[in-house]
Structure 1
Amino acid sequence: MHIKETDTLLFIGDSITDAGRDRTDSASLGSGYVHEIAQTLRARTGTGPGPAIINKGLNGNRVYDLESRWTTDVIDHRPTVVTVKIGINDTWRRYDRGLISPVDEFETCLDRLLAETVRTLSARLVVITPFLLPVTSDQEDWYEDLSPRTDAVLRAALGNGADVVRADLVLRRAAEEREAAELAPDGVHPSPLGHRLIADAWLAVVDSVTPNPPS
């Protein structure tokens, strides 16, 4: 289905969604995939304002941080489309700080947030999978934690009727033709090209007139 000009799109997640937005300016979308999506949708409307777009990404967030601000940062805005991108920090903190986010607890928390959103808003849900493009040898070890976490994200999305944007697959395929650092210099945070690829993947899933391909 196409996004309509009357829609309110809300994006929430970690630094990949935040992308340097000005938190003192509610209209700031940062310089990442949210901004790219907004540009594309607004260009399509011509002289119209296009859909309202809100960025509530916060760098460093794990799923539990999202839960602590879900009412004020999601529900209270009454969005019609909610996009969630979370998970990489739940993995990363295990390796840089020894802070464990058990996958079953992570999944339960994410499932609870998605279910609450459906129940309270009847909003369309979109979930972007976490991803990693290792640029150092030690990052290869992160998949031990990230792979089952990605599976958990997919289960929570499926269980709540969410559309899924497979950023992990999109960027992995792109890395077959380019250096990983060209897409995510530190393996986690996308370059402008990486953000554009995520935006294009979101648009293909969410703003398409054709049925979504199977994940």
Structure 2
Amino acid sequence: MSTPPETRSVKISDDERGGWSSDRPRRDGADSPPKPRDISVRTRVLQPAFRLRYSPGSLLLIVSGSVEQAEQFANRVLEEKNAMLSMAKVRRLLAGKVTAEEIEERAAQLLDAAITKRLQGGDSTVVVLDTVTPEEREPLLRAAASLRRPRHLILLEAPRDAVSDEDRLVLNDLRKAVDDGDVGSEGIQTALRLGGASIADTKKIVFRPPPADD
């Protein structure tokens, strides 16, 4: 009668038991990249006013179907004129200094650097956005949130003929989200929609602490 072959046992150390190997099912999310930090907040919907006051050091995003109109509005009402930044403004500064192929990339780099410098320095920062999409807003809101800066949004209505069909659909969703206070998921703490007479009636935007109680 033949002797059965001797079986070998392999001892797995405690340190190895928690490891992953190809012959065991992978745990969900084991190699998934970390989720972005949740910066969602509760949004307060503001009403149009003659004078709008925000905390010093805030980030204020202005969204509109017409960048030109948004820039004109910001230049008219901002007490701190140098607080306003935009891709369109940087493009104008670069015109004739770099090639047409380089201008978008260079403008984006310069704008990002300027926004970062102001936020890190605690300066109030107003950005007239180049698009109406949340993808443009997200990195700015996350940067401000990481520095614990207040975050605000103004949706400026534009004439219908100034808005592309593609933007109109996105703006409809954003308009509803602003009116319902649902932009808090983006990290926006206050939101305001201005249109028609309320645009002209807004005369000043300031970044100052609230007045002391008498």
Same fold (TM over 0.5): no
TM-score normalized with structure 2 length? 0.43
TM-score normalized with structure 1 length? 0.43
Structure showing greater relative contact order (alpha-carbon pairs closer than 8 Å, 6 or more residues apart): 2
Higher strand fraction (1 or 2): 2
Higher helix fraction (1 or 2): 1
